């Protein structure tokens, strides 16, 4: 959709140039990469932002009478869906080059964040020619949105589970979801008849109860699904190989092997991948260690990888607003 449809006045869409870097890590963001904020170890993360507002921007969004001293403020807008936060920080500059140092509290932010420089009108003027806005707070120009990661991205994996919606039968109305352990991939069915479930899970809101409920529901489903898939895979692995020999992963279904490869380092943290697989096979072969794997390691791995504690804190913070 053309920008002019949303803004019936002169705008400079993505004409501002924004650059971010992290002094602590000597890391910066180019056009392709996500700023690796997670590499910072301090509790307060310092990000340096610089922006260039070309002359063409001022000429485009302000009439001639206002161009010598344009009434505008440049803001750095930072927002995160996972954190349900949206904050704005004011730049300082000389109408061409602007700079800003932002300190972010690590405990407040999670997941990915979007950074954008936005030029906003700072003074009301009702006597402007047609095509120019005089509204206080009007969005006049902005930069391309840049991304930063507060948590290390999970390596891209093949799809292990398919997710689909369907209307559950009357005798299943109390269920939010059902899991089928089928080949070639397990399938997670979500109940399209559950009131509000589809709208909430597909909401793109960043604040309020809808995203809070969606996050909590996502944790609930993910915990149960991965517990089931991991337990099922390990139980099947225990039945492979010779009775007195080592379990054989080649006898597993393809999706079961994918589950193990995806979760092995979470099940045995701080171990090299090859050593982790050896420990897994030893644990499966001995009944006592198999119980430890199913009862202890799987819940720990899921909570660590899904960052359950962080999700709980975000929910508590939302409830306190």
What residue spans define the domains of the chain? Answer: 3-149, 162-319
Whether 246 has a pLDDT exceeding 60, the answer reads: yes
pTM of the model: 0.56
User: Residue 200 above 80 pLDDT?
Assistant: no
pLDDT value of position 138: 92
Q: Can you give the pLDDT at residue 1?
A: 43
CA–CA separation, 179 and 173 (whole Å)? 15
Q: Is the pLDDT of residue 312 over 80?
A: no
- What is the mean predicted confidence (pLDDT) over 188-217? 77
The helix/strand count (H/E) of the chain reads as 9, 13
Task: Check pLDDT > 60 for residue 299.
Answer: yes
Distance of CA 300 to the CA centre of its chain: 21
CATH pick for 3-149 out of 3.50.50, 3.90.930, 2.60.120, 2.60.40: 2.60.40
Radius of gyration (Cα) for the chain, nearest Å? 26
Buried b (16+ CB within 10 A) or exposed e, 54-75: eeebbeebbbeebeeebebebb
**pLDDT tens, residue by residue, 66-108:** 999 999 999 999 998 777 788 999 999 998 999 999 999 988 8
Give one word for 119, left, alpha or beta, with left for phi > 0 and alpha for psi -120 to 50.
beta
**Rounded mean pLDDT, 124-135:** 89
What pLDDT, on the 0 to 100 scale, is given for residue 208? 65
């Amino acid at each position: 959709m053309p920008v002019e449809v949303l803004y019936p006045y002169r705008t400079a869409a993505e004409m501002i140039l924004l650059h971010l870097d992290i002094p602590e890590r000597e890391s910066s963001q180019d056009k392709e990469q996500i700023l690796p904020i997670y590499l910072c170890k301090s509790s307060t993360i310092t990000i340096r932002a610089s922006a260039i507002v070309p002359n063409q921007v001022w000429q485009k969004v302000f009439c001639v009478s206002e161009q010598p001293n344009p009434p505008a403020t440049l803001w750095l807008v930072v927002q995160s869906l996972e954190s349900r936060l949206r904050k704005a920080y004011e730049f300082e500059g000389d109408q061409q080059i602007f700079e800003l140092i932002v300190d972010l509290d690590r405990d407040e932010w999670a997941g990915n964040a979007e950074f954008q420089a936005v030029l906003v009108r700072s003074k009301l003027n009702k006597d402007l020619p047609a095509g120019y806005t005089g509204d206080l707070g009007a969005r006049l120009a902005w930069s391309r949105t840049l991304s930063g990661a507060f948590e290390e991205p999970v390596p891209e994996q093949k799809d292990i589970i398919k997710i689909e919606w369907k209307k559950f039968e009357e005798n299943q109305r109390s269920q939010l979801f059902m899991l089928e352990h089928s080949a070639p991939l397990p399938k997670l069915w979500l109940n399209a008849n559950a009131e509000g479930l589809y709208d909430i899970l597909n909401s793109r809101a960043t604040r309020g109860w809808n995203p809070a409920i969606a996050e909590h529901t996502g944790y609930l489903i993910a915990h149960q699904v991965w517990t089931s898939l991991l337990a099922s895979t390990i139980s099947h692995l225990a039945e492979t190989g010779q009775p007195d020999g080592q379990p054989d992963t080649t006898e597993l279904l393809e999706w079961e092997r994918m589950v193990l490869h995806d979760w092995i380092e979470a099940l045995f943290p701080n171990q090299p991948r090859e050593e982790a697989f050896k420990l897994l096979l030893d644990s499966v072969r001995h009944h006592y260690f198999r119980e430890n794997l199913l009862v202890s390691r799987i819940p720990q791995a899921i909570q660590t990888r899904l960052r359950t504690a962080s999700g709980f804190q975000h929910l508590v913070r939302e409830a306190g607003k």
